[in-house]
């Protein structure tokens, strides 16, 4: 039996996509809070242009490190050395800047957990911890500080889970 090579390519691509989605954990069934609740959460946090920028930059730094397949680069020692020199210190600086201004206890807890996960990830070279830190920053960035529709919601923050 001869299989059409395009059919084979398609099947391999589909299986690869399913594996990538599963491995990266993009199977959350969580739904973000409704708009009224999001509005109340935003009002309970002192959101300024400065804190919006810091969260956005921290999310960007972590996103560059572990998302879109970036985690594969961390299989090599040089990958860990590079992120330890560039992206991660920037993310930590930005998270600390927001933490220093935060008054909301749930937000503080999320930011402290993010810093813990980044520290753990770097010390143990644990990609999973960096991915978890990314998910917290992603939800805070996309649903609290810089809300945009059409983004996946992980449901991993205390801030968004009353």
Q: How confident is the model at residue 10 (pLDDT cuts 50, 70, 90)?
A: low
DSSP 155: -
Q: How confident is the model at residue 91 (pLDDT cuts 50, 70, 90)?
A: very high
Spell out the CATH class of 32-145.
mainly alpha
Residue 119 contacts by C-beta under 8 Å, 6 or more apart in sequence?
none
pLDDT given for residue 157 in this prediction: 96
pTM of the predicted protein model: 0.79
Regarding predicted confidence, which is higher, 161 or 7? Answer: 161
Q: Which residue has the tokens 């753990």?
A: 120
Alpha carbon distances (Å) from 8 to 21, 22, 27, 83, 136: 20, 21, 26, 37, 38
Regarding predicted confidence, which is higher, 86 or 101? Answer: 101
* 124 token code pair: 């143990």
> Is pLDDT at 83 greater than 80 in this prediction?
no
The 10 Å Cβ neighbour count of residue 59 is 25
What average pLDDT does the segment 11-17 reach?
Answer: 48
Mean pLDDT, the chain, rounded, equals: 83
pLDDT given for residue 84 in this prediction: 74
pLDDT given for residue 158 in this prediction: 96
pLDDT given for residue 5 in this prediction: 55
The per-residue pLDDT for range 68-80, each reduced to its tens digit, is 777 777 776 667 7
pLDDT given for residue 123 in this prediction: 92
């Amino acid at each position: 039996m001869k299989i059409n090579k395009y059919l084979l390519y398609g099947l391999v691509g589909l299986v690869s996509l399913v594996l990538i989605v599963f491995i990266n954990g993009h199977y959350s069934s969580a739904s973000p809070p409704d708009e009224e609740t999001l509005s109340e959460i935003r009002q309970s946090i002192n959101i300024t242009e400065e804190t919006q920028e810091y969260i956005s930059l921290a999310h960007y730094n972590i996103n560059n490190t572990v998302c879109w397949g970036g985690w594969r680069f961390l299989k090599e020692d040089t990958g860990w050395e590079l992120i330890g020199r560039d992206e991660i210190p920037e993310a930590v600086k930005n998270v600390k800047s927001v933490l220093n201004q935060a008054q909301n206890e749930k937000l503080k807890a999320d930011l402290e957990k993010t810093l813990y996960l980044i520290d753990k990830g770097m010390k143990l070279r644990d990609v999973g911890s960096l991915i978890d830190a990314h998910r917290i920053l992603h939800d805070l960035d996309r649903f609290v500080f810089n809300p945009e529709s059409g983004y996946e919601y992980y449901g991993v923050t205390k801030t968004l889970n009353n």
